[in-house]
Each structure stands twice: as structure tokens, then as C-alpha cells.
Chains A and B, each alone.
Chain A
């Protein structure tokens, strides 16, 4: 069974750096044509793609947030890590870790999400 689980702080202060970890099971981060994305959703708003990392270690970032994001993976630990610098209250959201599957690159398995609040 494929699962993804997000972990990280519930509360961060403005200007701090957020570090989120996604621990996957049921598949390898080296599987060809698979990857992991981080998606976020502010309260009452739409989904937003933040970053993607693929089996060949190719990475991609949201254009508007690129300067603040870093995605990396540790295959031996089955973990994908996202860091976002200079957090602001507008970054308050639920953050999801998602598996990307196949040639079409659909997002087929989602973690339950972790809610992050940015407040002093």
C-alpha cells in the first residue's frame, strides 16, 4: 500500500524558515516515472503546486515562490524535504505531499496534509 505522510511544525513565526518532511512507503523514490510534489491550500482557497522532484532528481518550482523554496530527497530514508524561507502569514495553509505517477504524471496518492500557521 502506497502512503505518504507529512510532518513538520504546526506553528512558525514570520520570517522563519519552514521545513516539511514527507515520508513515503510502498514505493521507492528511485522508481522510474515517479516523483513527489508538495501542494498547499490556504483556508477556503484553491490548490497550489509548490515544488516537484522526480526519480532522476530533476526539480521544479512554482514560478512565484521559486526564490524561497528548496526540495530535496533522501532515497535511503524514503523522505522528501521541502524548505520555505521567510514565512509570512499568507503562507498559512494545509501542505500536502503527493505522489506523481507515470508518463502522464498524474497525482495519484495524497498524504493527509499538515496544517501550518504563520503567526507571531
Chain B
């Protein structure tokens, strides 16, 4: 199975900060990489698919980039509603696998 790692595991930031989360795959996955946001007690929500495509209804402050094994999710100006846990996930090979998550909380 393809292993996914994320860094950092957690970060503290303030409203208005630029935040970048990194995701790495154990082998090349082209651009078959997706990002999800999960708030406590809720199901995850798709933010970015195919490494860089913004899902409909997702604010443009979210962006993704990368290909091969290295990917990033960037929030250009953190808002109060963005404090959550973020997961990357590969959809290159089944079984699809998730990263361990990055928790973004308030500084």
C-alpha cells in the first residue's frame, strides 16, 4: 500500500496567517492527491482534488500544488472557521490511503 505522511502533525496559527501543510507519498502518485478538512464531530469535507483543483464552494484562500511524491496545501489567510484537522489522501492505487492528519489550532 502507498504510505502517506504529513508535516507538521500540528500547528498553532493566528487569524490572517499564511499556513502551509506538507504531504508526502511513499511512491510517485502523479497528481492523484486530495485534501480534506475535518472539524470536530463532523465528517470530512473535500477541499482540493487532483492536487490543485479547488472543489466547488471551497474558498479561494485554499490552494494545493505538487506532483509525484511531494504536495502542499496552503491557506493564504487563515480564518476562524479554518481551525480544523487536514488530511491528504492518495487516489492513485487502491486501497486509497490517508495521511495521519495535521491539526491547525489557534495560537
Majority DSSP secondary structure for residues of A touching B: strand
Bits for A33-50, please: 1 = Cβ < 8 Å to B, else 0: 000010000000011110
Contact status of A63 and B95, CB under 8 A, knowing A46-B100, A104-B34, A106-B34: yes
Bits for B20-47, please: 1 = Cβ < 8 Å to A, else 0: 0000000000011010101000011110
Contact status of A107 and B87, CB under 8 A, knowing A46-B98, A46-B100, A49-B97: no
Given contacts A104-B32, A108-B46, 7 further A-B contacts (CB under 8 A): A51-B95, A61-B95, A96-B43, A106-B49, A106-B50, A106-B55, A107-B44
Q: Which residues of B contact A (CB under 8 A)?
A: 1, 31-32, 34, 36, 38, 43-46, 49-50, 53, 55, 87, 89, 91, 94-101
